[in-house]
Chains A and B, each alone.
Chain A
Amino acid sequence: NAGVTQTPKFQVLKTGQSMTLQCAQDMNHEYMSWYRQDPGMGLRLIHYSVGAGITDQGEVPNGYNVSRSTTEDFPLRLLSAAPSQTSVYFCASRVSAGDTQYFGPGTRLTVL
């Protein structure tokens, strides 16, 4: 199994540009989530999904959209990038009724 994969690893955007961060898992996990990591702030939840077709907002959802059309994929869309969205983004997944959450390697995003 490849586990949780994220692309790209690094990205630089200009203010106002849009882009999609990709996340995929091959473990047939129902539950997927997106976090952002900022220095001194820990990991903050952006959006999560408990299964295909079902998504919900986390702690910091503004400026981000998600969709879950398949069990495997959970893309995160930045609608109009802002410097405040400069961060490291992590995707994670777990079995819905299980417990351990597995993380992808992260995407480091810089917005100029």
Chain B
Amino acid sequence: AQSVAQPEDQVNVAEGNPLTVKCTYSVSGNPYLFWYVQYPNRGLQFLLKYITGDNLVKGSYGFEAEFNKSQTSFHLKKPSALVSDSALYFCAVRDTRNTPLVFGKGTRLSVIA
């Protein structure tokens, strides 16, 4: 069965500093990996995805994520955090069949001015 772990419930970072939100996954076969962001009282917005190809994936709002097959990780990164990046971030995975998307429990990012 597919699963996702987001080991940190909360990440705090100062504005202007780099940020990392961690994600590890388990799936049989090749993974499709996703990051979504949720702002307060809003739905989920797609940020970026890894399907195949380059291990470094660039997405919306300056975010990027690195796929590491040997460590089964897909950490979300941004070189310089903004206060407006404060939100709840979800990592998700599915295999290459037409199966449901499985989500982690989410990491709350707080960027402090």
Q: A residues within 8 A CB of B105?
A: 40-42
Contact of A104 among B43, B49, B51, B100 (CB under 8 A): B43
Q: B residues within 8 A CB of A96?
A: 98
B106 touches A42 (CB 8 A): yes
A61 to B36, CA, bound (A): 24
**What's the nearest-Cβ distance from chain B to residue A31, in Å?**
7
What is the interface of chain A, defined by CB distance below 8 A to chain B?
31, 33, 35, 40-45, 48, 50, 58, 90, 92, 96-97, 99-106
A44 to B44, CA, bound (A): 14
A100 touches B43 (CB 8 A): no
Is B103 in the interface zone, CB < 8 Å from A? yes
A42 touches B44 (CB 8 A): no
Asked if A103 meets B43 with Cβ closer than 8 Å, knowing A42-B104, A42-B105, A42-B106, the reply is yes
Closest 6 CB pairs of A and B: A42-B105, A43-B103, A103-B44, A103-B43, A105-B43, A42-B103
Asked if A100 meets B98 with Cβ closer than 8 Å, knowing A40-B105, A42-B103, A43-B103, the reply is no
Contact of B101 among A101, A105, A106 (CB under 8 A): A101
Q: By CB atoms of chain B within 10 A, which of A43, A45, A96, A105 has the most?
A: A43
B98 touches A45 (CB 8 A): no
Is B13 in the interface zone, CB < 8 Å from A? no
Q: A residues within 8 A CB of B51?
A: 99
A70 to B110, CA, bound (A): 42
What would 15 more interface pairs be, CB under 8 Å, given A33-B101, A102-B46, A104-B43? A41-B105, A42-B90, A42-B106, A43-B90, A43-B103, A44-B103, A45-B100, A50-B98, A92-B101, A96-B98, A99-B32, A100-B46, A101-B34, A103-B36, A103-B43
Asked if A31 meets B98 with Cβ closer than 8 Å, knowing A40-B105, A42-B104, A99-B32, the reply is yes
Which partner residue on chain B sits nearest A104 by CB separation?
B43
Q: A residues within 8 A CB of B100?
A: 33, 45, 48, 58
Q: B residues within 8 A CB of A106?
A: 42-43
Convert B28-65 into 0s and 1s, putting 1 for each residue whose CB lies closer than 8 angstroms to a CB of A.
Answer: 00001010100000111110010100000000000000
